[in-house]
Amino acid sequence: MAIARASFGRTNHQSSRVIFGAAALSSVSQAVADRTLDVLMAHGINHIDVAASYGDAELRVKPWLRNARDSFFLATKTGERKAADARAELHRSLDRLGVDHVDLWQLHNLADPIEWDTALSPGGAIEAAVEAREEGLVRWIGVTGHGAQIAANHRRSIARFDFDSVLLPYNFVTMQSPYYAENFEALVAACAERGTAVQTIKSIALRPWAGRTHTRTTWYQPLEDQGDIDLAVWWVLARPGVFLNTVGDVDLLPRVLDAAERFEKRPDDAEMNSLVVRSKTEPLFV
């Protein structure tokens, strides 16, 4: 079965419901990156999400775009909060990607209250984003973030500025927090009314490394068993209208894509609770 596609919010782009999280390319060779492209193409992935802060990832994507720019909806991010700095980072990203525009430019991890106010005030990064959109350097503007507060924070963000997309964690364990779940549901409802795309991350998060030896390039310890990954991925994809951004590890990427291709229905709560107990899953955010 092919991975389904859906309209990416108001952009009307028919994006694969699984988006390639190019953080996985942060520290790999070009040869590994090129093999990863072959995997993405084999699974019909047509949306790439990268960021200025993802090591060499923008550089690794550049050769792909040289020959297949029209094959991908291309998104990148800035972590800068002031207009001049964000503008400079955008031009650096365009140069590193080898393109004259990106489809989506996102304010990266906009969570800290002071940074939030700086970025969304006059002279902030949002000013640079609007100018870039007017200049044709970006087509759409998004916001991303992590943490237990981010669903609530995104609600404030879309009230302050009419973002075209949001990105935030979504998995079974995270949604067991009543506070997070309440704000996530309210955010998704508001996004549906506005035509704002909802991207989700951390689908296969297992627990924080918390002193354990890092065996993957993800900043959290991920699920690794294919059966466990299946359940986690299916649980996310069972929610209509959201997109799943893939894991930041190129070796686990095929397992996530394989699970997505075989998606049929949502696992029930008993299956998910069994996964939590069996794998000793812990929340990433408290």
Domains and CATH numbers, the chain: 5-279 (3.20.20.100)
Question: For 3-58, what is each residue's pLDDT tens digit?
Answer: 999 999 999 999 999 999 999 999 999 999 999 999 999 999 999 999 999 999 99
Can you point out the beta strands (E) in the chain? 5-7, 14-16, 18-21, 47-49, 73-78, 102-107, 138-144, 165-169, 197-201, 205-208, 220-222, 242-245
Task: Spell out the residues 6+ positions from residue 204 whose beta carbon is closer than 8 angstroms to its own.
Answer: 171, 222, 223, 228, 229, 232, 233, 247, 252, 256
Q: How far, in whole angstroms, is CA 266 from its chain's centroid?
A: 21
Instruction: For residue 119, give the 3-state DSSP assignment.
Output: helix
Give the pLDDT score at 283.
93
Per residue in 160-214, pLDDT tens?
999 999 999 999 999 999 999 999 999 999 999 999 999 999 999 999 998 889 8
The pLDDT value given to residue 141: 99
Name the nearest CA neighbour of 119 among 170, 77, 62, 149: 77
Strand partners, 102: 138
pLDDT of residue 68: 86
Q: 19 pairs with which residues across the strands? A: 245
> Quick one: how far is CA 260 from the chain centroid?
16
Q: pLDDT digits over 80-90, tens only? A: 999 999 999 99
